[in-house]
Amino acid sequence: MKVDNEPVPGWSEPSAAKRLAILRSVRSVAMVGISARPERPSNFVATYLLSSSTDFDVFFVNPAFEEILGRSCYPSLADLPVRPDLVDVFRKLEDVPDVADEAVAVGANVFWTQFGLWSVDAAQRALGGGLEVVMDRCLKVEHARFHGGLRLAGFDTGVIDSRRREV
């Protein structure tokens, strides 16, 4: 059961149609806080985006690494070779407001936080900087939802199936 998150004044969660429009408008994604460990959600999302999507140019931001998944990893958003359209955050909750400030400073269009990351402060900073905000949603899940890929990379469990069984 999802716990209700504290409301953000002047903002409401984007509808499915709005999230799809956001994804269609994005060309470059900066993943802040990506991990080199394959079992971490950020690595899983990055692997999906790199292998299942030609929609995005994906950039990694983590000062602890020079390379992840064979791609360069940058110390900060300001060090990226491009202005990211979307900043996807995989950091500790207390770090999220500072990432929002960085996203505004580099001129990103969308501030997106992964499952479990809901920060009123970060949302207000991003909104104040003119960014679209999506919180507590997985970029991989949302992309797959709209592109028929929920069965890819770990969602085809076979446990729930809408197909009729042959008798």
**Per-block mean pLDDT, blocks of 10 residues, the chain (167 long):** 73 93 94 93 91 83 96 97 97 96 98 94 97 95 76 44 49
| Its pTM surpasses 0.95 | no
Identity (one letter) of the amino acid at 70? G
Q: Which residues neighbour 43 within 8 Å (Cβ) at sequence distance 6 or greater?
A: 34, 35, 36, 37, 68, 69
Name the CA radius of gyration of the chain, rounded.
Answer: 16
Residues composing the chain: 167
Residue 4: count other Cβ atoms within 10 Å of its Cβ: 7
User: How far does CA 53 lie from the centroid of its chain?
Assistant: 14
Does domain 29-147 correspond to CATH entry 3.40.50.720?
Answer: yes
